[in-house]
């Protein structure tokens, strides 16, 4: 599976958009980009995933560059409850892969009042 690189920390003002970048320059053609977050002392929470088209759900938007070497997770109106560690991973959607999640260091997002 391709490796990912994320900034160690970011700050955002409450109510503003939080844009979290991720580099995955070695991603292969059939690997998806997945985003998770983990709030302190809680289990990880799946946010969104995509292959090459931009995706949006009730939590966030995912923008993947045309060459698929990087992506950005957008939280459109960040709240204090969005303060968490955000993880970007890449992996195959199915087939024989059983989906062992391996998080890197992630990005610590701190949302300020």
Partner 1 sequence: DGGITQSPKYLFRKEGQNVTLSCEQNLNHDAMYWYRQDPGQGLRLIYYSQIVNDFQKGDIAEGYSVSREKKESFPLTVTSAQKNPTAFYLCASSPDRSYYEQYFGPGTRLTVT
* The binder of partner 1 chosen from 27, 84, 89, 109 (CB under 8 A): 89
Under rule CB under 8 A, residue 52 binds partner 1: no
Under rule CB under 8 A, residue 44 binds partner 1: yes
Under rule CB under 8 A, residue 45 binds partner 1: yes
Under rule CB under 8 A, residue 46 binds partner 1: yes
Burial of 67 (0-12, 13-18, 19+ CB in 10 A): exposed
Burial of 96 (0-12, 13-18, 19+ CB in 10 A): exposed
Under rule CB under 8 A, residue 97 binds partner 1: yes
**Which residues are at the interface with partner 1 (CB under 8 A)?**
32, 34, 42-46, 49, 89, 91-95, 97-104
């Amino acid at each position: 599976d391709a490796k990912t690189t994320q900034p160690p920390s970011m700050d955002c003002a409450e109510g503003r958009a939080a844009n979290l970048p991720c580099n995955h320059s070695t991603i292969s053609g059939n690997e998806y980009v997945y985003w998770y977050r983990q709030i302190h002392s809680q289990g990880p929470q799946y946010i969104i995933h995509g292959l090459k088209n931009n995706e949006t759900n009730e939590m966030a938007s995912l923008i993947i560059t045309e060459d698929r070497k990087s992506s950005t997770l957008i939280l459109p109106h960040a709240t204090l409850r969005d303060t968490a560690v955000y993880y970007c991973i890449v992996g195959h959607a199915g087939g024989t892969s059983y989906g062992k999640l391996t998080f890197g260091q992630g990005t610590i997002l701190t949302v300020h009042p």
